Amino acid sequence: MSMLAEPRRKQRISVDPQNLNWVNNEKTFGKKLMKQMGWKGGGLGPEGVGIKDCVKTKANNDQRVDMRPKADELKGAVKLDPNFKEYLQFGDES
């Protein structure tokens, strides 16, 4: 019977499972590039109203990602083209 079961392997948990060393690192390529262009750590855009933090995701049990809470929070922050709004409405109906 033991031949049918998959071999057991120990799961290794890293020292930094949430990858905070990378998130808080100020020497990453993207942060250097943004600072060269004048970014000072606030939101993006002419008024600085964009999001300041990384986009957070919530993993479901079936390994898909749910972005709806963040999308609802950002609703109205970006003005969409009317044709694109029609496309989105068409996608909801199907």
Residue 46: pLDDT band with limits 50, 70, 90: confident
Nearest to 43 by CA among 19, 81, 79, 74: 74
Query: In the structure encoding, which two tokens stand for residue 27, read together?
Result: 């020497």
Structure letter (DSSP) for residue 11: P
Cα 68 to Cα 60: distance, rounded to the nearest angstrom: 12
Give the tens place of pLDDT for each residue, 2-45. Answer: 567 778 888 888 888 888 888 888 888 888 888 888 878 777 77
State the sign of the Cα–Cα–Cα–Cα dihedral 71, 77, 81, 83: positive
Half-sphere exposure of 12 (CA within 13 A, CB side): 2
Give the tens place of pLDDT for each residue, 57-77. Answer: 665 666 566 666 666 666 666
| Domain edges within the chain | 56-94
| pTM beyond 0.95, yes or no | no
| Whole-number pLDDT of residue 73 | 66
